[in-house]
Amino acid sequence: MIQKSIARWAAMAIAVPLAAAGARRLSHALEARRGPSRVSRLLNKGADLLRPQKAKQRRFF
């Protein structure tokens, strides 16, 4: 039972960043080839939802 949970967590920890990187790369390739379009914007938004590029840094002072 615990092994399945760990395996599922490990798969998601690998799959989500790979999916975000793939969507971002595909979006950049489409924009380079054809210019900005609805599809490339949606791919970028989806990649940002999965893994934002710019994380806000917290300051403790």
Does any domain span residue 10? no
**Residue 30 domain flag:** yes
Range of the domain at 28: 20-49
- Which residue ranges of the chain lie beneath pLDDT 50? none
Residue 59 lies in a domain: no
**The pTM is what?**
0.70
In a domain, 32, yes or no: yes
> If we measure between CA atoms, which residue out of 8, 7, 10, 39 comes closest to residue 26?
39
Contact of 26 with 57, CB cutoff 8 Å:
no
**Integer angstrom CA distances of residue 51 from 4, 10, 16, 48, 55:** 24, 16, 8, 5, 9
The residue assigned the tokens 């970028």 is 44
- The pLDDT score that the predictor gives to residue 33 is 95
Query: Is 41 a member of any domain?
Result: yes
What is the model's pLDDT at position 51?
A: 81
pLDDT at 50: 84
